[in-house]
Structure 1
Amino acid sequence: MNEARGLVLGLPGSGALPAQLAQALGWACVPLFVRAFPDGESLVRIDAAVAGRCVILAGSLDRPEGKTLPLLFAADCARELGATQVGLVAPYLAYMRQDARFHPGEAISSLSYARLLSRALDFLLTVDPHLHRHTALSAIYSIPAVAVAAAPAIAQWIVREVPSPLIVGPDEESAQWVAQVAQAAGAPWAVLRKQRQGDREVLISAQGLPPAGGCTPVLVDDIVSSGATLAGAARLLRGAGHPAPVAVVVHALMDEAAGRGILEAGVSRLVSCDAVPHPSNAIALLPAIVQGLAPLLEAA
């Protein structure tokens, strides 16, 4: 691969991902220029030649309200300027959790967002999307879409950093990630039970938790925003006599207050994958992203 073949465009707030990805691919990289006008509209500009090139828009879609329109404008602009293919590498893919109509009249935003992006892009790569009621990305996206697993990278970090780990999922939905991480790390695992009582209030029960022993609990979850689930799980573990747990998350969407609340609940260390730029980032996903991207680029 070479710079003449492809261009990586860094989305706003994308951190180091675009430059790292471009270097791994041997492509050129420029940030997408986005300027806000006083009336709230935005100017989007691509400061590089795109004719005859495959263009990858790179950056996570956390806080998606301010990122989606520039993404769509950039994809459309790249096509108009002669790009051969336009793809998206978004380690965090927004709007996947609203995967059903929980109350009358609600938009199923995972479906709406998938239709929106599928019309704008030729391919998509993300990391551990929240697939609960949707069986796969292909069930809602009409373009080639790859979901990369963070479990191998997380398992390697746990084996390196945590002695005698016990992998613990804070709720039933975390079971799929917990099982993968535990298998890759060669460690025992358990899943707690959660009952949500509001956006920031949850009840965690110890059903399925083994008695305290010589293991260090490692709480593993895919998405953390309010931090209530991890904090509740940490308090339960400490109350059951377990050592202070380590917490590892794939997508760190929490603010400073949420992160502080998790640590105050008894977590000894809080780390995340670099899917979303965050001070807790400690686990690199670039090798897995590049590997997952290879078949998409071969087909492009």
Structure 2
Amino acid sequence: MSKLSVIAGKSSEEVSRKLSRKIKANFVKSQVRVFADGESKITLSGKISKRKSIVVQSIYPPVDTNLIQALSLISKAKETSAEVIAIIPYMGYARQDREFLPGEIVTMKVLGKLFKGAGASKIIAVDIHSMLGFKHFSIKTKNVSAIPDLVQYVKKLSLKNPLVVSPDQGGKERAKEFAKELGSEFIALEKKRDRKTGKVKIKTKNLDEVENRDLILVDDMISTGGSIVKATQFLKKQKCKKVYVACTHALLMNDAEKRIKKAGVTKIISANTIPGKTSIVDISNTIAKAIK
């Protein structure tokens, strides 16, 4: 019997399977039955290791359901395993890492207590929205980047004089890292978001450097796609060639994918932290290295 087991949460089955092969671990599958009132009943099938278990569960919508399932899987693993590592490819609630407006609850602080209470000794996330969120955890934490994996895919596209673009100043470091891996230049647009309405405006004026170039808009996550749509519309006016979007987490809520394509994006490339049509970049290798 393997000294390791990978317990696959329903939200991350594909990544879990690939990971279990890479680290030669027992694969433990989850069967989930959701009752009419929304409650989840989880049944596991497979051998749980006495030494170490790795629970893999992304916390994307339905966020609260996937969070409860993650905590339940960790708790069950802890009954058998001496050590439980939680792999959360997409960490929901990571945007709630501080009190932006008076009275707001810092939900990441609550998550820190929940993961510890459930029995996790370490958490590994992929491109967490803000590292500040992990400051609220008293257990070991690690963040790994999907950028090298995304860049490998982009390199195969044979782009014309590519330029990496961040849709805002907050993503400047990510764009810089992406450009360095790709061996290209980067720029960051300036945007303004209304904290109350969530509306986005691009403040950057004319850009000469995008003309006749293929662009890669880089972001950590795309939820409704508002920032990407605004950035694409602005960049298209600057006479760029093709616009690609590369992100780790493609939530693509409502009809975000349709609106992004309509704005003029040629292709959306995302990691399989969240399964979907655009999730063409596998990050199981990156996670396997982080475990070792």
Query: TM-score, normalising length from structure 2?
Result: 0.91
Aligned length: 288
Higher mean C-alpha deviation, range 123-132 or range 171-180: 123-132
Residue of 102, 125, 147 corresponding to 1:151: 147
Q: Which residue of structure 2 lines up, in the alignment, with residue 35 of structure 1?
A: 33
Match of 1:168 among 165, 176, 182: 165
* Mapping of residues 226-265 of structure 1, within 5 Å: 226-255=224-253, 257-265=255-263
Contact 2:57/2:70, CA 8 A, preserved across alignment: no
1:284/1:77 CA distance change after superposition, 3 Å: closer
Task: Give per-residue Cα distances to partners, 1:126-168, cap 9 Å, x unaligned.
Answer: 1110116x1x73x222222111111212222222212321000
Aligned residues of 2:3 and 2:49 also touching (Cα < 8 A): no
The 8 Å contact of residues 174 and 221 in structure 1, kept in 2 or not, is answered as yes
1:67 and 1:159 mapped to 2: Cα distance? Answer: 34
Q: Note the residue ranges of structure 2 that are not aligned, 5 or more in a row.
A: none
Q: How does 1:98-247 map to 2 (within 5 A)?
A: 98-120=96-118, 121-131=120-130, 134=132, 137=134, 139-161=135-157, 162-197=159-194, 201-207=199-205, 209-247=207-245
Contact 1:92 1:251 in 2 (8 A): yes
String of CA shifts for 1:18-48, please: whole Å, max 9, x gaps.
1101011111112223323345433233323
Contact 1:191–1:209 under 8 Å retained in 2: no
Say whether the 8 Å CA contact 1:34–1:70 is kept in structure 2. no
2:75 is aligned with 1:79: no
Give unmatched runs, 5+ long, in structure 1: 295-300
Instruction: Label 1:149 to 1:50 Cα distance change in 2 as closer, same or farther (>3 A).
Output: same
Which 10-residue stretch deviates more, 273-282 or 35-44? Answer: 35-44
AA paired with 1:187?
S
- The SS at the match of 2:125 is strand
In 2 relative to 1, CA 37–267 (structure 1 residues): closer, same or farther, beyond 3 Å?
A: closer
Residue type of the alignment partner of 2:2: A
Does the CA contact (< 8 Å) of 1:249 and 1:272 recur in 2? yes
Letter aligned with residue 70 of structure 1: Q
200-209 or 167-176: bigger deviation: 200-209
SS at match of 2:275: coil
Q: Cα offset for 1:123?
A: 1.1
**Residue 191 of structure 1: how far off its partner (Å):** 0.2
The offset of 1:176, in angstroms, is 1.8
TM-score scaled by structure 1?
Answer: 0.89
Q: Which runs of 4+ in 1 moved over 6 A?
A: none
* Identity across the alignment (%): 25
Asked if the contact 2:57–2:66 (Cα under 8 Å) also holds between the matched residues in 1, the reply is no
Letter in 1 for 2:19: L
* CA positional deviation for 1:53: 3.5
